[in-house]
Structure 1
Amino acid sequence: MSFNITKSIFTILLTIVFSIQTIVSLCQEAFTAKHINGLEWRHIGPFRGGRSCAIIGVSSRPETFLMGTTGGGIWKTKDTGLHWENISDGFFGGSIGAIEVASSDPNIIWVGEGEQTIRGNVSPGKGIWKSDDGGKNWVKMGLDQTRHIVRIKCHPKNPDIVLVAALGNVFKSHPDRGIFKTTDGGKSWKKVLFVNDSTGAAELCFDPVNPRIVFATTWNMRRSAHQMSSGGPGSGLWLSTDGGDHWKNISSHEGLPTGIWGISTVAVAPSNNDVIYAMIENENGGLFRSNDAGKTWKLVNSERKIRQRAWYFSRICIHPKNPDEVYALNVSLHKSTDGGKTFNTVNTQHADHHDMWFNPEQPNYIAVANDGGGQISDDNGKHWSPQNNQPTAQFYRVTTDNHHPFRIYVAQQDNSTIRIHHRTEGYSIGANDWEPTAGGESGHIAIDPMNPEIVYGGSYGGYLNRYDHQRNISRSINVWPDNPLGHGAEKLKYRFQWNFPLFFSPHKPTRLYAASNHLHVSEDEGNSWRTISPDLTRNDSSKMKASGGPITKDNTSVEYYCTIFAAAESPRIKDLLWIGTDDGLVHVSMNGGNSWTNVTPIELPAWTMINSIEPDPHQDGGCYLAATGYKNGDFLPYLFKTKDYGKTWKKITTGISSEHFTRVLRADPVRSGLLYSGTEYGIYVSLNDGVNWQSLQLNLPIVPITDLTVKEDFLIAATQGRSLWLIDDLGPLRQYQANSKNKKHILFQPKSVLRTDGGSTDSKFSGTNHPAGAILYFYIDSIQAKDSFSFFCIDSNKDTIGRWSNSFSDEFTEKIKLKSGCNKLEFSLRKKPAKSFDGMVLWWAGLQAAKPRLGNYKMYIQGPGLFDSTEIRVIRNKKYPTSDEDVEQQYQFIDAIRKSIDKAHKAIIEMRDIKKQLNDFCNALDKNSKTDSLFILKEAIDSTLNKIENELYQTKSKSNQDPINFPIKLTNKLAHLIALYEHGNYPPTTQAEVYRSETDELIQEQLKLYEDIKNGSLRYFNQKIREAELDFIKPKNVK
Structure 2
Amino acid sequence: MKKLIFLFSFLFLIFEINAQISLVKNVPFSNIGPAIMSGRVVDLAVNTQNPTEFYVAYASGGLWYTNNNGTSFKAVSENAPTQNMGAIAIDWENGTIWAGTGESNSSRSSYSGIGVLKSVDNGKTWINVGLPNSQHIGRIIINKNNPDEVVVAVIGSLYTSNKQRGVYKTTDGGKTWKNTLFINENTGVIDLSVSPTNPNILFAASWERNRKAWNFDGDGEGSAIYKSTNAGETWIKITNEKSGFPTGAGVGRIGLAAFNNNVIYALLDNQYMRPEKEKKEEKGLQKDDFKKMSVEKVLNLDDDILNTYLKTNNFDKRYTAKSVKAAIKKGTVTPNDLATYLEDANYVLLNSEVIGAEVYKSVDGGKTWEKTHKDYLDGVYSSYGYYFGTIAVNKTNQNKIYIGGVPLLKSDDGGKNWTSIGKENVHSDHQALWVNSTLEGHLINGNDGGVNISYDNGENWIKNNSPAVGQFYYINVDNQKPYNVFGGLQDNGVWYGPSNYKASKRWEGSGNYPYKSIGGGDGMQVQIDSRDNNVVYAGSQFGYYYRINLKTDAYLSIHPTHQLGETPYRYNWQAPILLSPHNQDILYMGANKLLRSMDKGENFDVISNDLTTGGQKGNVPYGTLTTISESPFQFGFIYVGSDDGYINITENGGATWTRISDTLPQGLWVSRVISSQHEKDRVYITLNGYRNDDFKPYVFMSENKGVTWKNIGSKLPNYPVNVIKEDPSDENTLYLGTDNEAYVSFDKGLTWQLFSNGLPKVAVHDLVIQNDAKDLLIGTHGRSIYKANIAALQEYNDVKSASVAIFKVPSIRFSTRWGSSWSKWSQPFEPIITIPFYTSNSGEYTLEILAEDDTKLNSFVINTDKGFNYFDYNLSVKGKKNIVKLSMKDNSNKKAKNGVFYLSKGKYFIKIGDIKKPFEVK
Deviation at 1:788, TM superposition (A): 3.6
Deviation at 1:161, TM superposition (A): 0.9
The match for 1:246 among 234, 250, 261 is 234
Q: Measured at CA, do residues 806 and 613 of structure 1 come closer, stay the same or move farther in structure 2, by a change above 3 Å?
A: same
The match for 1:299 among 368, 371, 384 is 371
Q: Distance in 1 between matches of 2:748 and 2:70?
A: 46
Q: Measured at CA, do residues 426 and 293 of structure 1 come closer, stay the same or move farther in structure 2, by a change above 3 Å?
A: closer
The match for 1:175 among 163, 172, 175 is 163
Matched, 1:290 2:339: no
Q: Measured at CA, do residues 382 and 651 of structure 1 come closer, stay the same or move farther in structure 2, by a change above 3 Å?
A: same
Q: Distance in 2 between matches of 1:773 and 1:681?
A: 32
What residue number does 1:409 align with? Answer: 486
Q: Distance in 2 between matches of 1:477 and 1:618?
A: 33
Deviation at 1:791, TM superposition (A): 2.0
Matched, 1:791 2:779: no
Q: Distance in 1 between matches of 2:788 and 2:875?
A: 21
| Greater CA drift, 356-365 or 337-346 | 356-365
The match for 1:705 among 754, 759, 764 is 764
Q: Measured at CA, do residues 382 and 458 of structure 1 come closer, stay the same or move farther in structure 2, by a change above 3 Å?
A: closer
The match for 1:233 among 209, 221, 239 is 221
Note if contact 1:372-1:387 (Cα within 8 Å) is conserved in structure 2. no
Q: Measured at CA, do residues 382 and 107 of structure 1 come closer, stay the same or move farther in structure 2, by a change above 3 Å?
A: farther
Matches within 5 A, 1:756-771: none
Note if contact 2:493-2:540 (Cα within 8 Å) is conserved in structure 1. no
Amino acid at match of 1:862: K
What residue number does 2:301 align with? Answer: none
Deviation at 1:79, TM superposition (A): 0.7
Note if contact 2:166-2:183 (Cα within 8 Å) is conserved in structure 1. yes
What residue number does 2:632 align with? Answer: 571
Matched, 1:494 2:555: no
What residue number does 1:514 align with? Answer: 589
Deviation at 1:579, TM superposition (A): 0.4
- The SS at the match of 2:379 is helix
Q: Distance in 2 between matches of 1:849 and 1:858?
A: 10
Amino acid at match of 1:581: S
Matched, 1:336 2:438: no
Q: Measured at CA, do residues 296 and 648 of structure 1 come closer, stay the same or move farther in structure 2, by a change above 3 Å?
A: same
Q: Distance in 2 between matches of 1:246 and 1:166?
A: 16
The match for 1:196 among 176, 184, 200 is 184
What residue number does 2:691 align with? Answer: 631
The match for 1:125 among 110, 113, 121 is 113
Q: Distance in 2 between matches of 1:397 and 1:688?
A: 26
How many residue pairs match? The answer is: 785
Matched, 1:806 2:866: no
Matches within 5 A, 1:44-55: 44-48=32-36, 49-55=38-44
Deviation at 1:449, TM superposition (A): 1.6
Q: Measured at CA, do residues 424 and 725 of structure 1 come closer, stay the same or move farther in structure 2, by a change above 3 Å?
A: closer
Q: Measured at CA, do residues 872 and 438 of structure 1 come closer, stay the same or move farther in structure 2, by a change above 3 Å?
A: farther
Amino acid at match of 2:642: T
Matched, 1:346 2:421: yes
- The SS at the match of 2:386 is helix
The match for 2:517 among 436, 448, 461 is 436
What residue number does 2:309 align with? Answer: none
Note if contact 1:641-1:651 (Cα within 8 Å) is conserved in structure 2. yes
Q: Measured at CA, do residues 427 and 749 of structure 1 come closer, stay the same or move farther in structure 2, by a change above 3 Å?
A: farther
What residue number does 1:995 align with? Answer: none
Q: Distance in 2 between matches of 1:678 and 1:130?
A: 27
Matched, 1:458 2:539: yes
Matched, 1:824 2:824: no
- The SS at the match of 1:323 is strand
What residue number does 1:861 align with? Answer: 910
Amino acid at match of 1:523: M
Note if contact 1:706-1:718 (Cα within 8 Å) is conserved in structure 2. yes
What residue number does 1:695 align with? Answer: 754
Q: Distance in 2 between matches of 1:184 and 1:468?
A: 61
Amino acid at match of 2:807: F
Note if contact 1:166-1:200 (Cα within 8 Å) is conserved in structure 2. yes
Deviation at 1:195, TM superposition (A): 0.6
Q: Measured at CA, do residues 829 and 416 of structure 1 come closer, stay the same or move farther in structure 2, by a change above 3 Å?
A: farther
Note if contact 1:80-1:385 (Cα within 8 Å) is conserved in structure 2. no
Matched, 1:645 2:709: no
Note if contact 2:22-2:753 (Cα within 8 Å) is conserved in structure 1. no
The match for 1:61 among 37, 45, 50 is 50
Q: Gapped runs of 5+ residues in structure 1?
A: 1-29, 484-489, 548-558, 760-770, 808-815, 841-846, 875-890, 892-1039
Amino acid at match of 1:568: S
Q: Measured at CA, do residues 793 and 173 of structure 1 come closer, stay the same or move farther in structure 2, by a change above 3 Å?
A: farther
Q: Measured at CA, do residues 833 and 303 of structure 1 come closer, stay the same or move farther in structure 2, by a change above 3 Å?
A: farther
Instruction: State the TM-score, normalized to the length of structure 2.
Output: 0.79
What residue number does 2:598 align with? Answer: 523
What residue number does 1:920 align with? Answer: none
Q: Distance in 2 between matches of 1:375 and 1:106?
A: 27
Amino acid at match of 1:295: K
Q: Measured at CA, do residues 277 and 420 of structure 1 come closer, stay the same or move farther in structure 2, by a change above 3 Å?
A: same
- The SS at the match of 2:776 is strand
Q: Measured at CA, do residues 756 and 295 of structure 1 come closer, stay the same or move farther in structure 2, by a change above 3 Å?
A: farther
> Whose Rg is larger?
1
Deviation at 1:837, TM superposition (A): 8.0
What residue number does 1:139 align with? Answer: 127
Note if contact 1:44-1:429 (Cα within 8 Å) is conserved in structure 2. no
- The SS at the match of 1:55 is strand
**For the aligned residues, what is the CA RMSD?**
3.4
Matched, 1:81 2:87: no
Amino acid at match of 1:393: G
What residue number does 1:472 align with? Answer: 553
- The SS at the match of 1:263 is strand
Q: Distance in 1 between matches of 2:563 and 2:475?
A: 27
Alpha-carbon deviations, 1:555-586, whole Å to 9, x = none?
xxxx3110110001012222210100011000
- The SS at the match of 1:311 is helix
- The SS at the match of 1:631 is helix
Note if contact 1:215-1:266 (Cα within 8 Å) is conserved in structure 2. no
Note if contact 1:46-1:391 (Cα within 8 Å) is conserved in structure 2. yes
What residue number does 2:435 align with? Answer: 358
Deviation at 1:723, TM superposition (A): 0.4
Q: Gapped runs of 5+ residues in structure 2?
A: 1-17, 273-354, 819-829, 877-889
Note if contact 1:463-1:481 (Cα within 8 Å) is conserved in structure 2. no
Amino acid at match of 1:468: N
Q: Distance in 2 between matches of 1:360 and 1:609?
A: 47
Note if contact 2:910-2:918 (Cα within 8 Å) is conserved in structure 1. no
Q: Distance in 2 between matches of 1:36 and 1:246?
A: 51
Amino acid at match of 2:588: Y
What residue number does 2:11 align with? Answer: none
Alpha-carbon deviations, 1:53-103, whole Å to 9, x = none?
111101123211111112111001111111011101112332211011236
What residue number does 1:259 align with? Answer: 248
Q: Distance in 2 between matches of 1:537 and 1:560?
A: 12
What residue number does 1:162 align with? Answer: 150
The match for 1:613 among 673, 676, 685 is 673
Note if contact 1:626-1:638 (Cα within 8 Å) is conserved in structure 2. yes
Deviation at 1:260, TM superposition (A): 2.2
What residue number does 1:274 align with? Answer: 262
Deviation at 1:867, TM superposition (A): 2.8
Note if contact 1:661-1:680 (Cα within 8 Å) is conserved in structure 2. yes
Alpha-carbon deviations, 1:308-341, whole Å to 9, x = none?
3211112210011100000011111100000001
Q: Measured at CA, do residues 160 and 869 of structure 1 come closer, stay the same or move farther in structure 2, by a change above 3 Å?
A: same
Note if contact 1:421-1:429 (Cα within 8 Å) is conserved in structure 2. no
What residue number does 1:677 align with? Answer: 736
Q: Measured at CA, do residues 838 and 820 of structure 1 come closer, stay the same or move farther in structure 2, by a change above 3 Å?
A: same
- The SS at the match of 1:81 is coil
Note if contact 2:697-2:714 (Cα within 8 Å) is conserved in structure 1. no
Q: Measured at CA, do residues 205 and 320 of structure 1 come closer, stay the same or move farther in structure 2, by a change above 3 Å?
A: same
Instruction: State the TM-score, normalized to the length of structure 1.
Output: 0.71
Amino acid at match of 1:47: A
Q: Distance in 1 between matches of 2:624 and 2:603?
A: 21
What residue number does 2:292 align with? Answer: none
Q: Distance in 2 between matches of 1:758 and 1:419?
A: 32
Deviation at 1:637, TM superposition (A): 0.8
